[in-house]
Amino acid sequence: MKSANLGYPRIGRDREWKKALEAYWSSRLEEEVLHAELKAIRLHGLQSQKEKGIDVIPVGDFTYYDHVLDTAVMFGLIPERFGYTGGEPDLSVYFAMARGTRTATACEMTKWFNTNYHYIVPELADAEPKLTRNKPLAAYLEAKAELGIEGRPVLVGPYTFLKLSKGYAAEQLESWIDRLLPLYGQVLRELEAAGAEWVQIDEPILSTTLGAEELTLVTHIYDRLRADAPGIKLMLQTYFEAVDHYEAVAALPVHGIGLDFVHDGGRNLQAIREHGFPADKLLGAGLIDGRSIWRADLESKLGLLTTLTGIVAADRITVQPSCSLLHVPVSAAQELALEPTLREALAFADEKLEELALLAKAGRSGPDAIRPALEAAGQSRSALQQSPSRNNKRVNERIAALASQPSSRSGSFEERREAQRERWKLPLLPTTTIGSFPQTPEIRSARRKWRKGEWSDAQYEAFIKAEIKTWIELQAELGLDVFVHGEFERNDMVEFFGEKLSGFVFTANGWVQSYGSRCVKPPIIYGDVELTEPMTVTETVYAQSLTDAPVKGMLTGPITILNWSFVRDDKSREEVAYQIALALREEVEALEAAGIGMIQVDEPALREGLPLKREQWQAYLDWAVKAFRLSTSTVKLETQIHTHMCYSEFHDIIAAISALDADVISIETSRSHGELIGSFEQHTYEKGIGLGVYDIHSPRIPEPEEMTVMIDRALQVLSPDQFWINPDCGLKTRKAEETISALRNMVQATKQARAKYAVETSGS
């Protein structure tokens, strides 16, 4: 029995990867130096896996931005607007697809299945695929030459790649499969010629809800790949859920199949018990949770492994994580500031590798070979479970009385709309932003000085007030209608709230990649959640004191806090969401009591929490909507509740969005080129809505005419009376000059639209 890994974090222990990329983008690092620095990070990750005792080490999972983008570029699937003329694309083309240029919009970005990782969506359209560079081959040769590692190259599987792509009609899927398969075959043959024995082909799409006809296409794919490269072994890797059509997947002409035994709800194990496992295949047993930061219950994992070895021979099992370790931080070794009981219960990527090696050792030599580790793991988990943080009587009593808590507004939307129109008297097509303004180097420096004790509380508060005042004045000068305070005191939209709620803790270096070089440090929800004092009232009330325009209170919603945190594993996610919701309700009520009459409770992560199986969607959406409404339902009629969502396919959950019962919702639609607008042609939506009119994740500044196109398209299906105009997301990552220029253009586009639609509205 061997241990295997499926993927390793790219960012480096101290985010060296992020720093190198951003230095290159700002012209502070030469391309040659960038390549050298990223190579060092890549090799260090491989060496770490080797030192932890991992037998099968993945190569080719490292990327300069995103692994799906890598696959598109490798196959020459580069939209014409990026000026690609053939050959191996250079970095300017690669990064243009990811980030855009002054003349070309970036490719769309969206969630990787139900995670908080974002991938770049391939655009196929009329592209003619061709192999530009065999990236897995280069990674395989490098690992072998530099470190003596006989790695297992990783590829995004053909079916997953195409199902995640856009730019082709459904009836063209089969023809696209046949266009790509020769290129996949070429990649595999070149790897075989170089001496590679195994290739890991990731097909997480097989863990979603697929029809029988789709399995026929998958069978065709692997029949063809087996025929094109008969001398190399294929490890078909699934993750994030159980496979629906287990017998069909087990029968595919591959040499190994990886299954997730953590997030499968027990269904993969049940399938193996009922149908067995092919005697000619290797089983990749995903036993260690690749998305959790908690130390594994090794006794339980060993019991599951024992069950599997009763069905599949031990020498045909590899012990592996449930998915790539991309989704967890690199190492918990640096978290020395955490309370010992909590620290001992953590396992990041490096610690998970150790757990894998231990389980494989037990599989070979028996449990006694790892008995001290089994006992230590059990003791650490038990100590945390018995801690006061997980036994808060007040929180538990509120959850027990949940049925008596209000989760509906006191008036209908029509009643609220009239009350809010009377109070606010906003113009047609009101303008606003999503919440945050640029977090400049000066702001980050001030926060560091304050946290280190170099600045007093009074110094830091004065600095934050000065930033708020500057941007309140800028919003007035720009002519926006509804202001925000700018969130300058906030490090992250989840971390900020977690620091002020009980039950949360923060790491020193627990960073994970969200998209591109954007790394986040998710809070850890380790105990019961409770509000101890107001979190946002001071800054919001100060901002409102500077202007007669309404200033929105800005909160992150319960589902986003849940989905963007590492969550305790001893309670259901639903119960934890309700704990957060009840704490946020108290903050909403505190804002309203302080005179703040517009309150935005953002839920950008609502959709990403959807289970991969469609039959499980409604149950999740029911409790997610209930959690949001628990947070927002006790305010007055005239208090306007806003929410925001970004980078998701919303047409699947339009009904749930409406059920949130927010008075105004803003939704990203710029990178998807307005495709979401089509959803409103099939679904009636009567509440206030803003569809982001420009992409804030790109440094380019769109002209007013470009935004006008977006506005006109939206108002073909939405009423001007319900439409708001805003950027697609918060402006935290943009520079001040970019932000001001883009917002000035947005206001200009709005004025043009008002002149046009005011006439049409009055005429109707």
Positions marked active-site:
697
Alpha-carbon distance of 292 to 751, in angstroms, equals 48
688 marked ligand binding residue: no
> Which pair of structure tokens corresponds to residue 105?
């919009």
644 marked ligand binding residue: yes
> Which pair of structure tokens corresponds to residue 339?
């309370």
564 marked ligand binding residue: yes
What are the two backbone dihedrals, phi and then psi, of residue 222, each rounded to the nearest 5 degrees?
A: -80, -25
Place of tokens 């209608």: 481
Could you tell me which residues are beta bridge partners of residue 644?
A: 666
CB 72 within 8 A of CB 94: no
487 marked ligand binding residue: yes
152 marked ligand binding residue: no
191-196 contacts at long range (C-beta below 8 A, 24 or more positions apart):
191/134, 191/136, 191/137, 191/140, 191/153, 191/229, 191/232, 192/229, 192/231, 192/232, 194/137, 194/140, 194/141, 195/144, 196/140, 196/152, 196/153, 196/232
111 marked ligand binding residue: yes
518 marked ligand binding residue: yes
Write the burial class of residue 110 (CB in 10 Å: 0-12 exposed, 13-18 middle, 19+ buried): buried
State the first-to-last Cα distance of the chain, in angstroms, to the nearest integer. Answer: 74
Could you tell me which residues are beta bridge partners of residue 486?
A: 436
Query: Which amino acid would we find at residue 286?
Result: G
Alpha-carbon distance of 204 to 526, in angstroms, equals 29
CB 485 within 8 A of CB 543: yes
> Which pair of structure tokens corresponds to residue 307?
């069950």
Place of tokens 């007669």: 548
- CA 22, 702, 641, 558 torsion: positive or negative? negative
Query: Which amino acid would we find at residue 445?
Result: S
The kind and range of the H/E element at 120 are strand 118-120
130 marked ligand binding residue: no
The Cα angle at residue 391 between residues 388 and 394, in degrees rounded to 5:
115
> Which pair of structure tokens corresponds to residue 531?
């509000």
18 marked ligand binding residue: yes
For 562, left (φ over 0), alpha (ψ -120 to 50), or beta?
Answer: alpha
3-class DSSP state for residue 190? Answer: helix
Strands, sheet with 256-260, edge to edge from the N-terminal-most edge strand: 2-3, 317-321, 282-288, 256-260, 233-237, 198-202, 152-156, 58-59
623 marked ligand binding residue: no
665 marked ligand binding residue: no
Place of tokens 């699934």: 238
β-pairing, 524-531 with 501-505?
antiparallel
Distances (CA, A) of 309 to 266, 314, 319, 422: 16, 5, 11, 70
323 marked ligand binding residue: no
Q: 480: closest CA among 555, 415, 543, 419?
A: 543
Q: 148: closest CA among 160, 136, 140?
A: 140
- Cβ atoms < 10 Å from Cβ of 266: 11
CB 604 within 8 A of CB 589: no
Q: 121: closest CA among 112, 109, 106, 104?
A: 109
519 marked ligand binding residue: yes
Q: Which residues contact 171 (CB under 8 A, 6 or more apart)?
A: none
Q: What is the DSSP string of 78-102?
A: --GGG---SSS--HHHHHHHHH--S
602 marked ligand binding residue: yes
Q: What is the DSSP letter of 486?
A: B
Distances (CA, A) of 605 to 44, 115, 206, 650: 32, 9, 23, 11
Alpha-carbon distance of 238 to 206, in angstroms, equals 6
3-state SS string for 30-67: CHHHHHHHHHHHHHHHHHHHHHCCCCECEECCCCCCCH
CB 127 within 8 A of CB 77: yes
Residues placed in the known binding site for 5-methyltetrahydropteroyltri-L-glutamate = 15-18, 111, 518-519, 564, 608
Residues placed in the known binding site = 15-18, 111, 434-436, 487, 518-519, 564, 602, 608, 644, 646, 668, 729
Residues placed in the known binding site for L-methionine = 434-436, 487, 602
Residues placed in the known binding site for Zn(2+) = 644, 646, 668, 729
